[in-house]
Structure 1
Amino acid sequence: MSGPRQSPTVAVVGSVNLDLVARVERLPRPGETLTAHGVSRHPGGKGANQALAAARLGAAVSLVGAVGDDPFADEALALLREGGVEVTGVVTVGDRPTGTALIQVDDDGETTIVVDVGANAAVTVPEDLHADVVMTVLEVPDEAVAAAVATPAFTVLNAAPAHAVAAEVLAGVDLLSVNAEEHAVLGRAADLDALPAVVVTHGASGATLHRYGREVASAAPPPVDAVDGTGAGDAFTAALALALVEGLDDGSALRRACAVGALAATRAGAQPALPTLAELETFLAGRRSRQGSKPKGEPDR
């Protein structure tokens, strides 16, 4: 009899931010001033979000990053430490502040985000980086991205914020995660159809997974009451990478990732909203139960 399934080890080379979040009725138009419902602070950064998302889904996770020598640093790392992410690879730099994101969230959960990279510009990759999965983002220097995807692991690039990535760097990526805009930006500089796997997210419409340019799966997120979309894409990317490495077929992996992203949108804040494995399993079990109790022939909503 085989033993229990071992979750993959994950190393994330990515950004660490403190998010300053303003809740507004709607997003402002250019030149317009609105009054916020309130302002809150949460740990964030696309790299840190993905690291915590993977940890909460059961993986053993380490983070390579950088923070400033300032009061924001401990606040930005608090939930990572609490969640069991190994942060000894996060260095403190004295000449840059901890990264900051200025976020507006409207009553429908839509967001606008402006990021000051701060200390994230100092991230470098150690030579002894080893894990089953190595994930990275474009909120760290291009040199760090290139070093991360050059490792022999299953490599994941969440190409945000969007900018052109050299074709030789993309050639080392096993899974590219982009939204439609990011897909267009990267596609101007490289042939994305040459990549083993590209997932393109379409917000509330779901996502499509392509292998060597051919669409192999699509999925829509389950219906939820969205509160805040910040971090939902990071949760989605981490969940999809884990599901694929753990051996789920493309369709099942994509549906699982969409469910994780949807769950992350039901609570405020990026990292506070990331679901645990137990929460995900309860959510999926509830959906299966509701679907099984529907009258025959009733469509799945």
Structure 2
Amino acid sequence: MATNEARGHVTVIGSLNMDLVARAPRLPQPGETLAGHAFAQVAGGKGGNQAVAAARLGAQVAMLGCVGADANGAQLRAGLEAEGIDCAALETSAAAPTGVALIIVDDGSQNAIVIVAGSNGEVAPDTISRHEAALAAANVVICQLETPPAAVRAALAVARRLGKTVILNPAPAAGPLPADWLPLIDYLIPNELEAAALTGLPVTSPQEAQAAARALRHAGARNVIVTIGAQGVVAALGDAEPQHFEAPRVKAVDTTAAGDTFIGGLAAQLACGVDVADAIRFAQRAAAISVTRAGAQPSIPARAEVVGA
């Protein structure tokens, strides 16, 4: 396992949002108004969540992104800095507001999310160029798809040129990735919905996740890890047959940021040289703890909780 004395470096390129979270008995139907029973405003965004997860789970972390010159942006920046995350590459937009996510969580702990990108949409290839030093300092670089594709492509290319371990969480995914992206990625990590969007295959079981992982590897991905919620993880690593890692059994309260916790935990372990199978198991334990708590970043555990689990 990683130790506090052997902390790897992770740089996250991605989104930061203020999450507006409503809890309701169930998710509403189109045109329906439901009475909710709780509301919270918490820090989120896949980039921010993954950065916080990697930091809490043992890595030294830098965040590259963009917030607005508003109260939400100031709060998000302060929250990252309180986690010990280097925000030198976190820019502030003079025009666009900080991104927001509108989240509904039902009593079965499922969620529906609408994202308004705001300042996240201003992350560009030039942003990556200005902050190449943040990528150069990393062992592992993480990207997602909540910032513009041109910026993601630039970040993947720079990280590959610098010889870093590159993770892409293809979220949200609307269809297959550009073919020239796949050779730039070491670990492609979709959830079941994203894997289905990337491949056109159904992904509702470990067996179907294995088929999707094989298809993505055939398309050029080096390693594919498909997260399938309570059913665990399917990993197609190198030339090996896809392996199913069962999830720890817990009582879920809120699944928001479970995938981000998994990715941050995996990156933190890989950054200090942990074997990928052990890194997956560690990340699964972290994600399992996160779903027992409400909220995005508030639900992410510290490394000591996972090691002691």
TM-score by length of 2: 0.85
1:158 is aligned, of 166, 169, 173, to 169
Counterparts of 1:200-239 in structure 2, within 5 Å, are 200-212=226-238, 214-239=240-265
* 1:47 counterpart SS class: helix
Give the 3 Å change call, closer, same or farther, for CA 35–59 of structure 1 in structure 2.
same
Moved >4 Å (runs of 4+):
none
Match of residue 143, structure 2, among 110, 115, 136:
136
Displacement of 1:78: 3.1
CA contact (8 A) 1:178 1:200 kept: yes
Matched residue SS, 1:235 = helix
Counterpart for residue 132 of structure 2:
127
CA shift for structure 1 position 250: 3.9
The worse-fitting range, judged by mean Cα deviation, of 10-19 and 236-245 is 236-245
Gaps of 5+ in 2: 201-214
Report % sequence identity: 43
Report the AA paired with residue 180 of structure 2: E
Residue equivalent to 1:146: 153
Structure with more helix by fraction: 2
**Do the aligned partners of residues 67 and 185 (structure 1) sit closer, same or farther apart at CA in structure 2, a change above 3 Å counting?**
same
Return the offset for 1:242: 2.8
If asked which structure has higher relative contact order (CA below 8 Å, sep 6+), I would say 2
CA 1:256–1:213 in 2, change beyond 3 Å: closer, same or farther? same
TM-score w.r.t. structure 1 length? Answer: 0.87
Secondary structure of 1:178's aligned partner: coil
1:75 is matched by which residue type in structure 2?
Q
How many Å apart are 1:144 and its aligned residue?
Answer: 1.6
CA distance in 1, matches of 2:10, 2:276: 20
Aligned amino acid, residue 80 of structure 1: L
Is the 8 Å Cα contact of residues 148 and 155 (structure 1) preserved in structure 2? no
Aligned partners of 1:149 and 1:155 also within 8 Å: yes
For 1:143, the aligned partner's letter is A
Q: Quick check: which has more Rg, 1 or 2?
A: 1
How many angstroms apart in 2 are the aligned matches of 1:36 and 1:135?
A: 35
CA distance in 2, matches of 1:157, 1:281: 25
Q: Give the conservation status (yes or no) of the 8 Å contact 1:175–1:241.
A: no
> For residue 84 of structure 1, what is the aligned residue in structure 2?
84
Q: How far off its partner does 1:165 sit?
A: 2.4
Contact 2:59 2:271 in 1 (8 A): no
What is the CA distance between 1:80 and its match in structure 2?
A: 1.1
Alpha-carbon offset, residue 72 of structure 1: 1.2
Give, in whole Å, the separation in 2 of the partners of 1:250 and 1:133.
13
For the pair 1:64 / 2:90, whether they are aligned, the reply is no
Q: Which residue of 2 aligns with 1:33?
A: 33
Q: Which amino acid aligns with 1:77?
A: R
Superposed CA RMSD? 1.9
- Note closer, same or farther for the CA distance 1:76–1:6 as it changes in structure 2 (3 Å cut): same
Partner of 2:112: helix, strand, or coil? strand
Distance in 1 (alpha carbons) for counterparts of 2:151 and 2:5: 31
1:98-113 equivalences under 5 Å are 98-113=98-113
Secondary structure of the structure 2 residue equivalent to 1:168? coil
Q: Which residue of 1 aligns with 2:211?
A: none
* Counterpart in the other structure of 1:298: none
